[in-house]
Amino acid sequence: MFNMENKILTEQGQSCLQSLLTIWFDFERGLTKIPIIQRLEQGRLSIEDYRFLLLNMRQQVIEGSRWISRCASSFDRSYSDVRSKVIGHAQAEHRDYEMLEQDFVAVGGNLDEIQNAQRNIGSEALHGFLMYHATQKNPVDLIGAMWIIEGLGNKMASEWAQSIDEIFVGYEGITTFMRYHGKNDEAHVEKLYELIDRLCKSDKAQENIERTAKVVARLYLLQLEEIDNG
């Protein structure tokens, strides 16, 4: 996820980026321990697994555009430049879920089923946490959330989509969401680097960003763990 120019200039920004990287690596190891992700990474994913993975991710993707939009509106005029960037981000992603639904249908899923599915327990917790934080005034700490979610998008495109296409030979157009979402996220991660410099101006801000990244990472893992409990 880090194949772009180094955009971090300030010392505080660098320190924050280093912590976020450490949190990311920890999150990535956590992913590798989740049963359904293990099956994906080791080539043992069944078509039902993949359908269920998409079904469980859809709610998060839909809610994702909501919390980012709300986050944008919570920045006051002293952060209007940040607000513009976050609005741009929300705009680019708010209909991603349609691609995900197409992939679900392409692997034999029923559109009604995915559209009427409930959020899993992890998605409930993640959504609740993100919406609450997005409602706070000038929610600088949400860069930590974006870091994890954008990083994951990148990982999906660069690793998971390829594994899935290798496992399900004979199917076509079943990873458009993962591939598109990731391609898009690379530009977003670049913007994130700029945001880190812009928003991480104190030790306190850095602490909040790190904490939010850790919580989001943990809740995202919970969401994926819950897939096998469904």
Partner 1 sequence: MSAYITSTGHYLPGAPIDNEKIEDVLGFVHGNPSRLKRKILKSNGIKTRYYAIDNKHNTFISNSKMAANAGNNCLANSYLSKNKISMLSCATSQGDIVLPGFGSMVQAELDISDIELQTSHGICSSSMMALKSAYTSLLAKQHENALVIASELSSRLFKASRYENAGDYSQDFNAEFLRWMLSDGAGALLLESQPRNTSFRIDWVKSFSHADVYPVCMSIGIPGDDSDSRTWQDYPSYAEAEAAGALLIRQDVRLLDNVVKLGVDGFLRLLDESLIKINEIDHVLCHFSSEYFKSRIFAMLEKAGAAIPEHKWYTNLYTRGNTGCASIFIMLDEFRRTQSYKEGDKIICMVPESGRFNNAYMQLTVVNV
Residues lying near partner 1 in the complex (CB under 8 A) are found at 2-4, 6, 8, 13-14, 17-19, 21-22, 25-26, 28-29, 32-33, 42
Dist CA 171 CA 77 (whole Å): 49
Q: How many CB atoms lie within 10 A of CB 132?
A: 12
- Calculate the alpha carbon distances from 191 to 6, 28, 74, 117 in Å: 11, 21, 19, 33
Q: For the CB of residue 154, give the shortest distance to partner 1 in the complex, in Å.
A: 13
Residue among 13 and 109 whose Cβ is closer to partner 1: 13
Closest CA to 106 of 184, 19, 178: 178
Residue 1, SS3? Answer: coil
Q: For the CB of residue 196, give the shortest distance to partner 1 in the complex, in Å.
A: 10
Residue among 17 and 146 whose Cβ is closer to partner 1: 17
Q: How many CB atoms lie within 10 A of CB 42?
A: 11
Does the CA dihedral 102-105-106-109 come out positive or negative? positive
Q: For the CB of residue 230, give the shortest distance to partner 1 in the complex, in Å.
A: 24
Backbone phi and psi for residue 18, each to the nearest 5 degrees, phi listed first: -65, -40
Residue among 99 and 156 whose Cβ is closer to partner 1: 156
Q: For the CB of residue 41, give the shortest distance to partner 1 in the complex, in Å.
A: 9
Residue among 6 and 116 whose Cβ is closer to partner 1: 6
Q: For the CB of residue 200, give the shortest distance to partner 1 in the complex, in Å.
A: 12
Closest CA to 19 of 155, 176, 226, 217: 217
Tokens of 138: 């000038």
Q: For the CB of residue 165, give the shortest distance to partner 1 in the complex, in Å.
A: 15
Residue among 3 and 116 whose Cβ is closer to partner 1: 3
Residue among 32 and 73 whose Cβ is closer to partner 1: 32
- Contact criterion met (CB below 8 Å) for 82 and 199: yes
